[in-house]
Structure 1
Amino acid sequence: MRFLFLFLGLFFANLTSQGQTGDNPALWSHEVKKLSDSEYDLVFQGEILEGWHVYSQYTAEGGSLPSEFTFEGAGEDYELVGKTTESKTITEFSDVFEVDETFFKKEAIFTQRIKLLKSNVTQVSVNLFYQICKEVCIPKDELFQISLDGSDFVSQEKNLDERSLALGTSLKLDLKNKALLNQGTLQGEQGKSNLWMVFGLGFLGGLIALLTPCVFPMIPLTVSFFTKQSQQKSKGIANAILYGFFIVLIYFLLSLPFHLFDSIDSQILNTIATNIWLNVFFFIIFVFFAFSFFGYYELTLPSSWANKMDAASSKVGGGMGIFFMALTLAIVSFSCTGPILGGLLGSTTLADGNVATNLSAGMVGFGLALALPFALFALFPAWLNSLPKSGGWMTTVKVVLGFLELALAFKFLSNADLVGNWGIFKREIFLGIWIVLFVLLALYLFGIFRFPHDGPKQKISLTRKLIGLVSIVFSVYLVLGLFTVTNLKLLSGFPPPDFYSITETESDCPLGLDCFKDFEEGVAYAQEVNKPILLDFTGWACVNCRKMEENVWSDASIYPILKDEYVLISLYVDDRKELPEEEKFDFKYDSGRIKTIETIGQKWGTFQTINFNAASQPYYVLLSPNLEILNKSVQYVDADVYEKWLKSGLEKYQLSMNK
């Protein structure tokens, strides 16, 4: 249970930090006290915000994580004299972990004596890992760079070669009017609703999972178990509701490891989502999922897992017994829910925004949809009589899901092709594959061919015919888009962009616009023609980037502004094309972490992070040619908001020119 609370703390801390970038509930400083030519006391002092607390190094095991110091060079350059001492602490019993915990409030002071082993040592680096808690606990790292002789600390950048130092320095811009970036990012209603959209997709996935043969028959059995097992009807209802709650909790917990990844590096999930070989792996997995839905084999977790969970539910009883019952359901239904969950994972990696938070929202929506029937039918048991009987229709549901899994699989293969610059899955090929898939789906629904797990041939139902007709209509829509009769705006972001085509295009930029894919070249041109800059942080595999380009940039009132009034600089943060050897370098962040820059995407991703404190795409900034920020940054917004934003930037640029 300890790890459960730690994971929950990490999750909510991650959500909180997104809205409070830069807020730190503990401010740290250090002091050096010289005792002799070779001995020093290092004093670390933290001022803790009201209501928060930091744990002692010596808090009891089994509770929250203790503070921990790492002294770099200890044992080689100097030795530690005794243990690190602490200022006054508080000890209280924790109801959560059921141990006495020791912590600091308002102020924490640590003192460590050191003795030099080398006379030429003049500086020491110390890292403090600590956990600071209020309603939730946030793990933090603090790096102390200490000068023993009172001089300025010499940065570790001296360990980097001169070329890396020069190239790293060139990434940092001397931005003017940077205070505008601290006013937040303009997202509009589309950006704000993204989380709800992912939640809705998860909920829809859960509803579909309910209709599969792994889950649907479990509803009346489980509800009857709770209502008949309990002597009191109210207790049976309460147990069914608790069962539903645990289902939601289990699926939510599956998303928590992704928050750990996100806390390590703000760009790590974007890197994973746009990794070429991971996208190929997703393609293979989704094809594998699809053929399981087609009935060629069945995906199952080891039966021993379900048996152990089932035995635990009987042995433990009470609330924990119900938890293990919910876990048993999650395991035994995996053959149907696994591919749907895989689709949910794939959809959230394709969506822009915080991948981990999106995934949690989707998982909660999925779990809620699965849990609702158990609670509702426990409250209203008479409704069980209205449930349709299990039958061949559930097999049809699985086959439809199989075709959707295949369609999504080719999206991942397309991502790998785009990011890797393979030039294989051009727009026309991608659309052609989708057309074939949805025509095949229609033929299956009309009974033209069958799969191994289909039952005896029966009369085709009206619902099945209607879904088949929808598939035919969608195929026609794709054909019209293939021959540019229509623009496929409903699918913006899924097919490769228009300029990624078999036929030669005038420009390799969106909508045939002129654009630069190198920042310095774009700025030089903007200075030459005396126009403001639209800086576009984008990605080959960025769905919302394509939606903005195809739905917003193409707007009749916006396109002329982009074409005539601005210099467009599009920087692809997921471009895996390697930089020339002379342009590869190591970049050191202020925290001390060193990152190797080897690809175009790594360069522009780092460039975005250090200058604009952002890591998501699309991300738009308006700049003057002399790097003055003209307006707040913008992400995924509608056409009206974007047009006003562009015109406001032009007005501010004209005013600055007239001064």
Structure 2
Amino acid sequence: MRNLILLITLLFSTILFSQTLDPIKWKASVEKETEDTYVLHFKATLDKGWHLYSQNEAEGDEIAPTPTEFTFDNTPQTYTLVGETNEPNGIEKYDNIFEMDVKYFEDKAVFFQKIKLVDKNIKQINAEVFFSVCDDERCLAPEIVQFNINLDGAAVENKGDLSSITAKDQEKSKGLDINVKGWDVYPSEDTEEKSYFTIFILGFLGGLIALLTPCVFPMIPLTVSFFTKGNKDRKKGLFNAILYAFFIFIIYILLSLPFHLLDSLDPEILNNISTNVTLNIVFFVIFIVFAISFFGYFEITLPASWSNKLDSKANSIGGVIGIFFMALTLALVSFSCTGPILGSLLGGSLSSDGGAMQLSFGMGGFGLALALPFGLFALFPNWLNSLPKSGGWLNTVKVVLGFVELALAFKFLSNADLVEHWGILKREIFIGIWIVIGVVMVLYLFGKIRFPHDSPIQKLSIGRKTLGVLILAFVIYLIPGLTNTTYANLKLLSGFPPPLFYSIYEKEAHGPLGLNAYTDFEEGLKAAKIQNKPIILDFTGWACVNCRKMEEQVWSHPEIMDILKNEYILISLYVDDRKELSEKDQFKYLKSEGRVKDIRTIGDKWATFQTLNFKNNSQPYYVLLDTDINLLNHTTAYTPDTDEYLKWLKTGLKNYKK
């Protein structure tokens, strides 16, 4: 009975925590053009959020996406290929991790290859596709799908010849199974995807900053007083003020709706903003102009006729519609101050994979922050007396925002530089520019330099001193980024400056942060037994974007680096390594669903090893083991939270010492 319960428990655990993913389905078909000409179609259907790479990715580069490859078995030659295998238009964008343009497909992709028969009696074409798929957090190990395509129209996936499995194949297949123990104690855990809450909060913070600008702040008491005191019926005035705040929020949401239409018509429109050189240079110029405007050298305003026309409508049209036009008038009148902040939000949202939906959440947060004061001060009018008076401090806020806009401008120039490989904004040069901007900002805050609208400073306020000290601390934090040391990785800014390898020092990658890593499980296990240390299994890939992010942003943490270097034996298994195994090490593996998989390369071996032992086929994927192959903690995947990952490592060490 006890054995039966144990068996049921193990089966339940295996089913419950199995994470083997299959986000792509292939289907082949054939179309006859003439008596001796056919077109073979290969349709890939992908789950939402997953993408397949183009055939034309860089070959021979280890740190590159895995290209899709089609191979046709034409021995003896019974047909000829007419041209190359055609692929659809995909999404093209620059990838900072790979330092190259990449092209990929989402939802579905149809490839086709024209053939001309040499032997008109041939009835079947054999083909295979080699590919890998990724989502925003992980990549799956490369796979091969084989097809037998009947020229009469039928096409079936070729699962392989079961009779070809030899005793040697069976023995080597068994050798992959390491019999991992402890699943009942430490089941697998998935890292939850981040929601749009963070984007909303960032937009909200941007809106709070916009409230402090000279265009918006003075409007708060004026507008609230208009609604609450200018109306004989206080309840109606209160309702109108809250409605006014609600319309401000709605207007900023509405501003994002056209981007949803563009996104649905052509998904490439939003993605291309981050990679299109011209657009990035345009953003760079716009942000420079905004910065100069904030410094007080000229004023950016929308045509007065626009705001006057809306204002007249607000006065002439009563009721709810009139209040809506009042809110719209505020949005236009305050554009000279809110525009640059919205520009930052627009550029940042559309440069990421979230696209229009991220923009909507960001704009919603921005609009809510602008609307809240009008609603809250209408509910609690006595709070108006506690507001600080408008004055020179508002101009100081505006100039500081000008410095921020100037710093952000160079991010867009950096995007263009990375795409074109101009080499004018290497990482250290980018950081150096930010240091200069920071130093000038500090000098401004301490009154050493002035701009056109500034009056002489008699006494530095506490606010100026505090902000000046904070900016100075940030500048000091940036300085190690100029060096060729381990301190050059500025984790707080990870992903914003150019990547570490885009450096004037021409750094070359020598593995994960120079750590001593074994690339064979058996060798690593032997070393762990000799040194009496636990194992961290790192299932990774050369084409794995988030594997690089984990190494650069999380593993680089000094305490984590120390633990990986001194407390664990690191075994990094590359599931997309195309290097072929020696002939004696190649074998055929019979998968659980009856398909035969040829283990030809190092990547084939470790990908199968991962799926067999851990019921998971995504990367990055981390496992902590002792030398008896017992789990020391739950397995984990992409974990950008440094504290969480550090706690996971320490828990494994604690369990090992027990």
TM-score under structure 1 length normalisation: 0.56
Structure-1 separation of matches of 2:112 and 2:559: 42
Quote how far apart the aligned CAs of 1:247 are. Answer: 0.5
Check 1:160–1:508 CA distance in 2 against 1; reply closer, same or farther (3 A cut).
farther
The superposition leaves residues 502-538 of structure 1 with CA deviations (integer Å, 9 ceiling, x where unpaired) of 11324277635799xxxxxxxxx98999998513666
- Aligned partner of 1:466 in structure 2 is 466
User: What secondary structure, in the 3-state scheme, does the structure 2 residue paired with 1:157 have?
Assistant: strand
One-letter amino acid of the structure 2 residue matched with residue 638 of structure 1 = D
1:533-612 to structure 2, matched below 5 A, reads 533-535=539-541, 547=553, 550=556, 555-557=561-563, 564-568=570-574
- Aligned partner of 1:332 in structure 2 is 333
**Does 2:245 match 1:256?**
no
Structure-1 separation of matches of 2:243 and 2:296: 34
One-letter amino acid of the structure 1 residue matched with residue 421 of structure 2 = N
Structure-2 separation of matches of 1:248 and 1:407: 28
Structure-1 separation of matches of 2:480 and 2:403: 21
1:177-256 to structure 2, matched below 5 A, reads 186-188=190-192, 191-192=193-194, 195-256=196-257
One-letter amino acid of the structure 2 residue matched with residue 374 of structure 1 = F
Structure-2 separation of matches of 1:330 and 1:171: 49
Check 1:492–1:156 CA distance in 2 against 1; reply closer, same or farther (3 A cut).
closer
Quote how far apart the aligned CAs of 1:429 are. Answer: 0.9
The superposition leaves residues 572-618 of structure 1 with CA deviations (integer Å, 9 ceiling, x where unpaired) of xxxxxxxxxxxxxxxxxxxxxxxxxxxxxxxxxxxxxxxxxxxxxxx
Check 1:358–1:508 CA distance in 2 against 1; reply closer, same or farther (3 A cut).
farther
Deviates more, 1:486-495 or 1:229-238: 486-495
Quote how far apart the aligned CAs of 1:496 are. Answer: 2.3
Check 1:359–1:169 CA distance in 2 against 1; reply closer, same or farther (3 A cut).
same
Quote how far apart the aligned CAs of 1:321 are. Answer: 0.9
Check 1:166–1:195 CA distance in 2 against 1; reply closer, same or farther (3 A cut).
farther
Higher relative contact order (CA 8 A, sep 6+): 2
Q: How many residue pairs were aligned?
A: 429
- Aligned partner of 2:297 in structure 1 is 296
Structure 1: give runs of 5+ residues left out of the alignment: 1-20, 23-141, 144-154, 177-183, 516-524, 572-620, 648-659
1:482-493 to structure 2, matched below 5 A, reads 482-483=482-483, 484=485, 486=487, 487-493=489-495
Quote how far apart the aligned CAs of 1:213 are. Answer: 0.9
- Aligned partner of 1:45 in structure 2 is none
User: What secondary structure, in the 3-state scheme, does the structure 1 residue paired with 2:196 have?
Assistant: helix
User: What secondary structure, in the 3-state scheme, does the structure 2 residue paired with 1:385 have?
Assistant: helix
Check 1:478–1:637 CA distance in 2 against 1; reply closer, same or farther (3 A cut).
closer
Structure-1 separation of matches of 2:189 and 2:292: 43
Structure-2 separation of matches of 1:422 and 1:354: 28
The superposition leaves residues 193-218 of structure 1 with CA deviations (integer Å, 9 ceiling, x where unpaired) of x5222222211111111111111111
The superposition leaves residues 472-513 of structure 1 with CA deviations (integer Å, 9 ceiling, x where unpaired) of 121112113433474422222222232222113242776357
- Aligned partner of 2:503 in structure 1 is 501
Structure-1 separation of matches of 2:294 and 2:568: 46
Quote how far apart the aligned CAs of 1:304 are. Answer: 1.5
CA contact (8 A) 1:202 1:365 kept: yes
- Aligned partner of 1:84 in structure 2 is none
The superposition leaves residues 401-422 of structure 1 with CA deviations (integer Å, 9 ceiling, x where unpaired) of 1111111111222222223333
Structure-2 separation of matches of 1:260 and 1:514: 50
- Aligned partner of 2:101 in structure 1 is none
Structure-2 separation of matches of 1:470 and 1:167: 62
CA contact (8 A) 2:293 2:300 kept: yes
Check 1:478–1:568 CA distance in 2 against 1; reply closer, same or farther (3 A cut).
farther
Quote how far apart the aligned CAs of 1:383 are. Answer: 1.3
Structure-1 separation of matches of 2:196 and 2:344: 17
CA contact (8 A) 2:512 2:551 kept: no
Structure-2 separation of matches of 1:473 and 1:284: 29
CA contact (8 A) 1:187 1:637 kept: no
Structure-1 separation of matches of 2:550 and 2:258: 25
- Aligned partner of 2:361 in structure 1 is 361
CA contact (8 A) 2:428 2:481 kept: no
Structure 1 or 2, whichever has the larger Rg, is: 2
What do you get for the CA RMSD once the two structures are aligned?
Answer: 4.4
Check 1:635–1:304 CA distance in 2 against 1; reply closer, same or farther (3 A cut).
farther
Structure-1 separation of matches of 2:646 and 2:246: 45
- Aligned partner of 2:531 in structure 1 is none
Quote how far apart the aligned CAs of 1:266 are. Answer: 5.3
User: What secondary structure, in the 3-state scheme, does the structure 2 residue paired with 1:566 have?
Assistant: strand
**Does 2:407 match 1:407?**
yes
CA contact (8 A) 2:252 2:364 kept: yes
CA contact (8 A) 2:564 2:570 kept: no
One-letter amino acid of the structure 2 residue matched with residue 566 of structure 1 = S
User: What secondary structure, in the 3-state scheme, does the structure 1 residue paired with 2:541 have?
Assistant: strand
- Aligned partner of 2:389 in structure 1 is 389
Structure-2 separation of matches of 1:416 and 1:185: 39
- Aligned partner of 1:37 in structure 2 is none
Structure-2 separation of matches of 1:460 and 1:488: 31
- Aligned partner of 2:54 in structure 1 is none
One-letter amino acid of the structure 2 residue matched with residue 342 of structure 1 = G
Deviates more, 1:492-501 or 1:403-412: 492-501
Structure-2 separation of matches of 1:280 and 1:324: 35
Deviates more, 1:329-338 or 1:279-288: 279-288
One-letter amino acid of the structure 2 residue matched with residue 495 of structure 1 = P
Deviates more, 1:481-490 or 1:384-393: 481-490
The superposition leaves residues 603-659 of structure 1 with CA deviations (integer Å, 9 ceiling, x where unpaired) of xxxxxxxxxxxxxxxxxx999345975526455543576689999xxxxxxxxxxxx
